[in-house]
Amino acid sequence: MLQLFANLCAFSLIAGFSALSVLNPDAFYVHVQEDQPLEWSTVWAFIVASAFFARAAFSQRRERPLPWFSAGLACLCVLFALEEISWGQRLFGYSPPRYFLENNYQLELNLHNILPTSVRQQILGAIFIGYGLLLPLLERIPSTAKAIRTLGITAPPLGLAPIFGALLGLLVLYPLPYTGELVEGGMALAFLFASIASLRKLGDDSPRMSTWPSCVAALSVVVMLGFGGALWSRGQLAADPVVVEVARAEIQRLEHDLRGLIDEERDLCGRHERLNAMAKRSKGSRLTKGRFRSLTRRGLPQERADFFIDPWSTAYWVRTSCNDKRDRVFIYSFGPNRRRDSSRWKLSGDDIGVIFRVRKDEAAHAENAP
């Protein structure tokens, strides 16, 4: 029953967001962003799973002094949870050390975004194949099952293999934008149910934890905490009018710097990225030596100028769209709540930004403006 319920939950998550991406792309875009219920539910699923794995490790101490595998899974789930929220950077608004600003393309305090995308995919793929698919199969083979038990390794149920297989397929095919968010959410669910199964397998003192009502209860707690975390992160930060005006003034400078840039460098068309990434890709000096960077003479911290960071320690973003006659540019900050509220071409929530169109003759005028 646990495996059936787990598969139903995981595939419902994948199917629901896949349908949303087709029926309402703007809603899909909003709900896969940071600090939304999906991300917070992912975080809490990992945290609850870590607690269950830790309890399983404690139960395993009856047989072995060092239950390294269950304890290691508990630590791994905590690491995944903290990495998912960038160790609280967006919640508390601190700026990470310069090393992360220089080497993390998301300008965040986390390790996984320092690694190349291919390496991250290989690590996740190895977890899905090794832990989710091969280990439960090896446990079914008598000759290897004894070695697994001797080493103190606890395999997840074979019934969870469809989830791990589906996550591996999503990781390889990447059929939707932000597929990575669905992979992380599905992985958190898989580890949550695997941790509950570990309690049953290791003879936990509370055997009811392995029944399907307990699975429903655990999932309900995760979902409630997920929505609660999203609401809390949305409402915890008040907008200081002075800081908001600072951001608006900086965006005006950025608007001037970007006018004409897309016309000069057409390879920057059709992008949605942090402004720091566009500056690195740009060949000219319009961004690197523009009006925004000149604000350092008026007190703008050098680190914010170097990496195009807003007053709330998050990155400025830019989206571009081009055609033969007119370019469209959207520059924005996440604002005081440090999360994206806007859709593709609509400024929403407390995001601060500007959407403008530039004709070629207007770009030339901006270039010659004092």
**Percent of the chain's residues with pLDDT above 70:** 91
Model pLDDT for residues 199-222, shown as the tens digit of each residue: 887 765 444 444 667 788 899 999
Please answer whether residues 44 and 229 qualify as being in contact, where contact means their C-beta atoms are separated by less than 8 angstroms: yes
CB count in 10 Å sphere of residue 92: 11
> Tell me, what's the pLDDT at 33?
83
Helix (H), strand (E) at residue 333: strand 326-333
The Cα 243–Cα 360 span in angstroms is: 34
Please answer whether residues 109 and 87 qualify as being in contact, where contact means their C-beta atoms are separated by less than 8 angstroms: yes
In this prediction the pTM is 0.78
Q: What is the mean pLDDT of the chain?
A: 87
> Tell me, what's the pLDDT at 364?
46
> Tell me, what's the pLDDT at 50?
97
Burial, 211: exposed, middle or buried (Cβ in 10 Å; 0-12, 13-18, 19+)? middle
> Tell me, what's the pLDDT at 202?
72
Check residue 176 and give left, alpha or beta (phi > 0: left; psi -120 to 50: alpha): beta
**Pairing relationship of beta strands 352-359 and 326-333 according to DSSP bridges:** antiparallel
Strand partners, 353: 332
The Cα 255–Cα 251 span in angstroms is: 6
205: Cα separation from own chain's centroid: 36
The Cα 96–Cα 180 span in angstroms is: 23
Banded pLDDT at 192 (limits 50, 70, 90): very high
> Tell me, what's the pLDDT at 361?
56
Look at residue 238 and tell me whether its pLDDT is greater than 80: no
Helix (H), strand (E) at residue 228: helix 212-235
Which is nearest to 280 in space by CA: 250, 315, 313, 247? 315
Please answer whether residues 329 and 358 qualify as being in contact, where contact means their C-beta atoms are separated by less than 8 angstroms: yes
Give the chain's end-to-end CA distance (angstroms, integer).
Answer: 71
Model pLDDT for residues 89-140, shown as the tens digit of each residue: 877 777 788 888 888 878 888 888 898 889 999 999 999 999 999 999 999 9
The better pLDDT of the pair 324, 51 is held by 51
Least confident of 36-45, 92-101, 134-143, 179-188: 92-101
Q: Residue 310 corresponds to which tokens in the numbers above?
A: 């807003």
Which is nearest to 322 in space by CA: 354, 357, 347, 287? 357
> Tell me, what's the pLDDT at 369?
47
Q: Which phi and psi angles does 286 have, rounded to 5°?
A: -60, -35
Helix axes 161-173, 117-127, angle to 10 degrees: 160
> Tell me, what's the pLDDT at 128?
98
> Tell me, what's the pLDDT at 231?
79
DSSP character string of 140-154 = TSHHHHHHHHHTT--
> Tell me, what's the pLDDT at 338?
84
Q: Residue 185 corresponds to which tokens in the numbers above?
A: 């959410």
Average pLDDT over residues 311-315: 89
> Tell me, what's the pLDDT at 2?
76
Please answer whether residues 325 and 339 qualify as being in contact, where contact means their C-beta atoms are separated by less than 8 angstroms: no
